[in-house]
Structure 1
Amino acid sequence: MAEEPRGAWFGFGFCGFGQAPGSGRGRQVRSPEPLHVGVDIRRVSASWSYTAFVTRGGRLELSGSASGAAGSCRDAWASEGLLVVLRAGPGSGALLQAWAPGSALRGEPLWAQDVVPEAEGEGDPGGEAQAGRLPLLPSTRAYVSPRPPFYRPLAPELRVRQLELGAEHALLLDAVGQVFSWGGGRHGQLGHGTLEAELEPRPLEALQGLAMAEVAAGGWHSVCVSETGDIYIWGWNESGQLALPTRSLAEDGETVAREATGLNADGSQVKRMAGAEDGAPAPFIAVQPFPALLDLPLGSDAIKASCGSRHTAVVTRTGDLYTWGWGKYGQLGHEDTSSWDRPRRVEYFVDKQLQVKAITCGPWNTYVYAVEKGKS
């Protein structure tokens, strides 16, 4: 069997706490830079002030405001209030641990729980056990939340493939490609056409009959990628993260004064602002509570997506990376700090003849795994 092609991880965006190894402290990294630990990284999970790296050898290393290391790790999930680590247990089992990020992984965890994976093929017509990444647990019957209760069970009828958490909401992708959402909905991030919260997972009616392959949760917006490569996006558009018209690509998140709010016929929230260039009110979409189809330039098909607090990143079948939304700290990778309300290709990887294979966004930064073209 041919050896899996090895590439390298790159980071860009906010690095005020030294989150990206080798990138320094107190810097905006405006263009992709290779990470110091390079090809050994297998998984990355980024919070606002620190990043967790899991190596191919099972070692966990923290970089940024939190530091520390541990061995025998399968996965890690970083949030500002909680660091969750999945460690190898006896046999095929695993041990779930939750740590305070500032603990340096020393002493006793805040809590720990044994995790027993489901029997292989149980309830799965494909004959394969369902297994996901944190915050979804290997059993697929529960997930981890940064707020109590930390361990949250899922309904037994849900066969979960992927689960992603935003600042106030959750997205779930089931085994047949159906998308569910729940949690806070005040920014339209649930995709049900309202700004109401949902206490339990609710399927997105607007996507019924469309099989999805990926979901991604931003701070207050959501993205999913269909099995045919289409992108659907909804939620808050304050910084253009939905690639929909926005008057102001705000850098500080403050609400612009003198606005009047209404709803379009499709449910999207429109704010008409004073002071447009032609003297007339300028409409723009602030909230899109229904999934909207988004076309990438050149008709490219998407395969992966990830979201930061207010920016979005998508990888195409050809290995190109497109980013848009808030770019104040260089998290879009375009060698500047501009924000964009439309998809823009990151030319760094094109110039270096690299194909992007994996993408994960922190709130204000972005991490990318890429290999040389022709090596995949």
Structure 2
Amino acid sequence: MRWFGFGFNAFGQICCNERFEKGGISDPAKEVKVSAPTELRCREDRNGSCCLKTKTVRASWSRRASLHVHGDGCCVCLAGFEASASHQSCDTCVVERRECKDAFISESHLTLVFPDRIESWDLQKKDKTPSWSMKILSQSESSVDSVVKLPLVPGGFIAAKPPFFHRLSPHLQVKNLTLGGEHAILLTVTGAVYTWGQGSHGQLGHGGLVSEEEPRTVEALWGMPMNSVAAGGWHSVCISDGGDLYVWGWNESGQLGLPSRGLRKASQQKPSQQAEELCQDADTSGAAQKQEEVFISIQAFPALLDVAPSCELRTVSCGSRHTAAVTSNGDLYTWGWGEYGQLGHQTLESSDEPQCVEFFKTGQMHVVDVICGPWNTFTAAVKEEITINTPPKPLD
């Protein structure tokens, strides 16, 4: 399995700015904005001694944490802002202990899960001890399933900044939880969706712009079991058991995949003279239809989005203002804000329509996972297996 990244790269969180550091390029923007999927390389690769396999990737605005399989556990490597200093400060607790199971990274802290504890390390300091820790029962010691998938932990969840631990009611029976810029989405084992936090952009899905202090069920989805959830800066998405995608929240950059007035206006600011003449010659009925086009700035209720015709969705992830989804046949679709190349279409254009990332189809790769950072995207892909149909032998 190979991991790729594209989008915001100002701190080298996707690929190292080697050419820029050596003065080999004249345009730093070429290093800051990575518009084509670029394969990730761990630190050891440059010395030719890397033998680690990347399990998954976690990303904040300026950093990336990669979990590498090592023996029975994982070790964590950091890339991005002050990565060398941060990596050195965490070497003792991450690389040498090897039994790390998961990681969660923010702009200020790196949270790590071990079989018996959770630790948060302050990335702005070089302390040799974690700034916060919490003991947890191992599966062998607990009578209940205590598998940890950050930010979800037994009894609650971990926030991006202090206070880290927040309790959740045991009656919720949580399956998954994801944190947006100012809100949270929770998925129960029965497929019900709960949201709470800031609601000023409709990101809670309750039909209004009111905030909620406690988890509240999204009534519009009641009776339709969901399989996964994801939260962006100010928007939310979920996939049903049947592989359908539901979206709600802010659509200023087309991150919901619904018509965005801002994007349409931007695309019309540079019309050619010929296009202007054609518009003047258009019949009145066509003009009337254009005026009736509906734009959506805020979608306060969940809306069904058709991403790929006749294809179910497997997983979805949200950036600050963009969204990426993987279909059951291994195609990657992205939409929303694309100014840093985070949509992977080898342009810096934004889009309010889901578009397939052709890079992986052209390379005959099957996308199996996607993780969005605020302004970038990371995907895992495997080579497609080519099946050769051998004609049957003739009967004697």
TM-score range, shorter chain: 0.7 to 0.9
C-alpha displacement at 1:147, in angstroms?
A: 3.4
Q: Does the C-alpha gap of structure 1 residues 281 and 230 become closer, same or farther in structure 2, counting only changes over 3 Å? A: closer
Deviates more, 1:325-334 or 1:36-45: 36-45
Distance 1:197 1:120 in 2: 39
Kindly provide the CA deviation profile for residues 160-187 of structure 1, in whole angstroms up to 9, marking residues without a partner as x: 1111000000001111111111111000
Q: Does the C-alpha gap of structure 1 residues 298 and 120 become closer, same or farther in structure 2, counting only changes over 3 Å? A: farther
Corresponding position: 1:157 with 2:171: yes
Q: Which residue of 1 aligns with 2:132?
A: 111
Corresponding position: 1:287 with 2:308: no
- Report 1:313-328 matches (<5 A): 313-328=324-339
Residue identity matched to 1:85: L
Distance 2:65 2:368 in 1: 19
Q: Which residue of 1 aligns with 2:350?
A: 339
Q: Does the C-alpha gap of structure 1 residues 75 and 222 become closer, same or farther in structure 2, counting only changes over 3 Å? A: same
Q: What SS is found at the alignment partner of 1:56?
A: strand
Kindly provide the CA deviation profile for residues 94-129 of structure 1, in whole angstroms up to 9, marking residues without a partner as x: 22111222336x422211111224679956xxxxx2
Corresponding position: 1:36 with 2:41: yes
C-alpha displacement at 1:355, in angstroms?
A: 0.6
- Contact 1:23-1:33 at 8 Å conserved across structures: no
- Contact 1:16-1:28 at 8 Å conserved across structures: yes
- Contact 1:45-1:77 at 8 Å conserved across structures: yes
Q: What SS is found at the alignment partner of 1:59?
A: strand
Residue identity matched to 2:130: P
- Contact 1:30-1:331 at 8 Å conserved across structures: yes
Distance 1:102 1:120 in 2: 35
Which sections of structure 1, spanning at least 5 residues, go unmatched? 1-6, 124-128, 253-276
- Contact 2:178-2:184 at 8 Å conserved across structures: yes
C-alpha displacement at 1:23, in angstroms?
A: 6.3
Q: Which residue of 1 aligns with 2:67?
A: 54
C-alpha displacement at 1:298, in angstroms?
A: 2.2
C-alpha displacement at 1:130, in angstroms?
A: 5.6
Kindly provide the CA deviation profile for residues 60-112 of structure 1, in whole angstroms up to 9, marking residues without a partner as x: 111100420422221111111322111x3xxxx422111222336x4222111
Q: Which residue of 1 aligns with 2:383?
A: 372
C-alpha displacement at 1:280, in angstroms?
A: 6.3
More helix by share: 2
C-alpha displacement at 1:17, in angstroms?
A: 0.3
Q: Which residue of 2 aligns with 1:255?
A: none
C-alpha displacement at 1:373, in angstroms?
A: 1.1
Q: Which residue of 1 aligns with 2:81?
A: 65
Distance 1:294 1:285 in 2: 13
Distance 2:108 2:142 in 1: 35
C-alpha displacement at 1:156, in angstroms?
A: 1.2
Q: Which residue of 1 aligns with 2:7?
A: 13
Q: Does the C-alpha gap of structure 1 residues 34 and 251 become closer, same or farther in structure 2, counting only changes over 3 Å? A: farther
Residue identity matched to 1:55: H
Distance 2:323 2:301 in 1: 17
Corresponding position: 1:27 with 2:27: no
- Contact 1:161-1:174 at 8 Å conserved across structures: yes
- Contact 2:105-2:160 at 8 Å conserved across structures: no
Distance 1:41 1:306 in 2: 18
Q: Does the C-alpha gap of structure 1 residues 61 and 250 become closer, same or farther in structure 2, counting only changes over 3 Å? A: farther
Distance 1:154 1:237 in 2: 30
Q: Does the C-alpha gap of structure 1 residues 375 and 63 become closer, same or farther in structure 2, counting only changes over 3 Å? A: farther
Residue identity matched to 1:188: G
C-alpha displacement at 1:282, in angstroms?
A: 7.2
C-alpha displacement at 1:150, in angstroms?
A: 1.1
Distance 1:243 1:132 in 2: 32
Distance 1:349 1:288 in 2: 31
Q: What SS is found at the alignment partner of 2:296?
A: strand
Q: Which residue of 2 aligns with 1:142?
A: 156
Corresponding position: 1:85 with 2:85: no
- Contact 1:247-1:282 at 8 Å conserved across structures: no
- Output the TM-score relative to the length of structure 2: 0.79
- Contact 1:238-1:250 at 8 Å conserved across structures: no
Residue identity matched to 2:261: R
Aligned partner (choices 117, 140, 151) of residue 95 of structure 1: 117
Structure 1 stretches (4+) deviating beyond 3 angstroms? Answer: 21-26, 117-123, 277-283
C-alpha displacement at 1:337, in angstroms?
A: 0.4
Q: Which residue of 1 aligns with 2:310?
A: 299
Which sections of structure 2, spanning at least 5 residues, go unmatched? 21-30, 46-51, 267-286, 388-396
Q: Which residue of 1 aligns with 2:240?
A: 226
% same residue: 44
Residue identity matched to 1:16: A
